[in-house]
Amino acid sequence: MYETDVLIIGSGVAGLSFALKVASFARVTLVTKKSCVDTATNLAQGGIAAVLSEDDTVEAHVQDTLRSGDGLCNEEIVRLVVREGPERVRELIELGVRFMKAQNGKGLDLGMEGGHSARRVAHALDLTGHEIERALLDQVERNKDIKVLENHLAIDLLVESKVEGVVHQGRERCLGAYVLNRLTGEVEVYRARVTILCTGGCGKVYLYTTNPDIATGDGVAMAYRAGARVANLEFVQFHPTCFYNPRLKNFLISEAVRGEGGVLINEQGEPFMHRYDERRDLATRDAVARGIDAEMKESGADCVYLDITHRPADFVAKRFPTIYSTCKRYGVDMTKEPIPVVPAAHYMCGGVQVDQWGCTTIDCLMALGETSCTGLHGANRLASNSLLEAVVFAHRASIWVAKNWQEITSLPARQVQGWRVGKARSIEENVLIS
């Protein structure tokens, strides 16, 4: 059995940000099911949305978010996140994130994406998530108060009601988690004062997704089994433009390509989004995905195409180096020909229900990032609001833990049992015959 003050499950932007903030007063253990960089954060291309320009306003960002959520956003949470966002972006810069600077040297180069009424997306070309992950991991690796365990898969939560000999009354309480050490094959017990779920979404339940292989909904499943309230799980966002290639099923073509002038066309080379939404190619993701779906069903085509060949080749290659090089490696030169694209599962708008501090309905259990349902996204997330939500709520959760730390540490410790395998055993046959 292992003991820690704070157990963080997941190594994306939410988990890393939270770890850095609480390590000054608590022992932190962070477990991640594969390597630290196997996260949805690391694949995020577009950027992080925040009001960082004099040409933009908090109210404009709020209204864009509410419209995108189709009436199901929690407006109080939307205003809170948008208001606190700019400070969190500045904090990322202080931690070493290298966002692209504006050409005039004043401020950041801000991108435009679907559903936004102004340029407000801070980015690192088309590697924004990778850059944020790099900077935060660098800080975490330097911090001696944060213990990181790769290849450790959390499989279930330890909750008070399941502890033998304890008469459970009132709200459920989380005591830690059972974690499979994938290197040894052993299930280890991690007892913690506070447990934070940052395991990302569930995209891999779909055949076509932009998500990494780790996105199997672990955090939501564990929380649900423990009795935590979950919400809005029916709202899974499909990104309109996933690269259509049988050999590469999960490569995203960033929203920013359309933000920089990319146009969706059909097999005949005709633009079609004007038939489905007045905002055309810069409509919200749900609207664009539905437009593409309708166009494909009407024509019987396997895909549609995203055309940015009218922009200078140098601009395209420099602005989207990863997309350009990946497409070219698979036979498509996006500076000379349109990119074949289809919608694919991208983001879980629902999740473990939390309050404005990231607390779930189980004491000492919190959830952050895509694993959580904060009320920000409603039925459809606005582009580049996910990284924003993650850093804002990681900050707020750290404030709550710090404020309540004395009360948390005064709770009675519970003796917990190890993992019970029962009659389960490893499969010995090399071939299964059904």
Instruction: State pLDDT tens for residues 222-257.
Output: 999 999 999 999 999 999 999 999 888 789 999 999
The confidence score (pLDDT) of residue 422 equals: 74
Q: Judging by beta carbons within 10 Å of its beta carbon (0-12, 13-18, 19+), is residue 231 exposed, middle or buried?
A: middle
pLDDT at 40 over 80: yes
Q: Is residue 14 domain-resident?
A: yes
Q: Is residue 420 domain-resident?
A: no
Residues 223 and 290 in one domain: no
Return the percentage of the chain with pLDDT > 70, whole number.
96
Query: How does the average pLDDT of the chain come out, rounded?
Result: 94
Average pLDDT over residues 170-177: 92
Residues 164 and 307 in one domain: no
Residue 304: give its domain's CATH number: 3.90.700.10
Taking only the tens place, the pLDDT of each residue in 350-392 is: 999 999 999 999 999 999 999 999 999 999 999 999 999 999 9
Catalytic residue among 173, 258, 285, 381: 285
Residues 270 and 283 in one domain: yes
Helix, strand, or coil (residue 24): coil
With contact defined as beta carbons under 8 Å apart, do 235 and 376 qualify? no
The confidence score (pLDDT) of residue 103 equals: 86
Active site residue 285: yes
Residues 247 and 338 in one domain: yes
Taking only the tens place, the pLDDT of each residue in 41-62 is: 999 998 999 999 999 999 999 9
428 falls in which pLDDT band (50, 70, 90)?
Answer: low
Residue 175: give its domain's CATH number: 3.50.50.60
pLDDT at 430 over 80: no
Number of domains present in the structure of the chain: 2
Least Cα distance to 219 among 345, 369, 377 occurs for 369
Q: Is residue 106 domain-resident?
A: yes
Q: Which domain holds residue 321?
A: 237-345
Residues 328 and 398 in one domain: no
Q: d(Cα 412, Cα 404) in Å, to the nearest integer?
A: 15
Can you state the percent helix, strand and coil of the chain, rounding each to 5?
Answer: 35, 20, 45
401 falls in which pLDDT band (50, 70, 90)?
Answer: very high
